[in-house]
Copies of this chain bind each other. A is one copy, B any other.
């Protein structure tokens, strides 16, 4: 399992096999069953998660009491509640496995030690956050400039496997569509 993380890391930084063993010692590999809640909104935010296999989602409960999915993470994506993790405070979002998954988890103290002992990981996480932030900016751009319909078609073309894989009611929630309208758009797309 750790090979998935190793190959991913090698895209960003260089390290020896011994160094990789050292880096891995700060992480735990944990299994997560489908529908398992890894982080509950309002509870102390202890971990950041990296998906080795499977899929996670992040969600909140809006003012009407409805769950809204705000992020997904497939293989080799990080998912975390960064403010809560940095400040060791209550999480603003919940995190749930939506498939049986294998996850890398790291807690705040281990992360600090990892940065201290392997400064090269500053570079790796600089890339992780830089790209996560850039992705959010792009999303904001789409939200402000595309209709919901166009956003769905864009999403469908950019991530076709993802659209097939994720439960449709969660995808609808993420895109701000009703499940019925999402079905209609998918039919339109196929025809």
Copies of the polypeptide in the assembly: 2
Q: Quick one: which of A97-147 are within 8 Å of B by CB?
A: 115, 119, 122-123, 125-126, 129-138, 140-141, 144-147
Interface of A (DSSP majority class):
helix
State the CA gap A126–B127 with chains docked (Å): 8
Given the known interface contacts A60-B144, A144-B60, A144-B62, the answer about A130 and B129 at a Cβ–Cβ threshold of 8 Å is: yes
Does A68 reach chain B (CB closer than 8 Å)?
yes
Q: Closest Cβ of chain B: how far from A149's Cβ, in Å?
A: 12
Query: How many Å from the CB of A19 to the closest CB on chain B?
Result: 15
At the interface, yes or no: A82 with Cβ under 8 Å from chain B? yes
Q: Are A83 and B137 in contact (CB under 8 A)?
A: yes
Whole-angstrom CA separation of A122 from B13 in the bound complex = 12
Inter-chain contact A119/B123, CB cutoff 8 Å: yes
Docked Cα-Cα span, A122 to B120, in Å, equals 9
The closest CB in chain B to the CB of A125 belongs to B126
Contact B82 A141 (CB under 8 A): no
Contact check, B115 vs A63: say whether CB atoms are below 8 A apart: no
Q: How far is the CB of A184 from chain B (nearest CB, A)?
A: 21
A45-87 residues with Cβ-Cβ distance < 8 A to B are 60-63, 68, 70, 81-83, 86
Nearest B residue to A68 via CB reads B144
- Please indicate the chain B residues that have their CB under 8 angstroms from the CB of A93 in the complex: 137, 141
Not counting A60-B141, A115-B123, A119-B119, a sample of 16 additional A-B residue pairs whose C-beta atoms are within 8 angstroms of each other reads: A60-B145, A61-B145, A63-B147, A70-B141, A81-B137, A82-B137, A83-B135, A92-B137, A92-B138, A93-B141, A119-B123, A122-B122, A123-B126, A129-B130, A129-B133, A136-B140
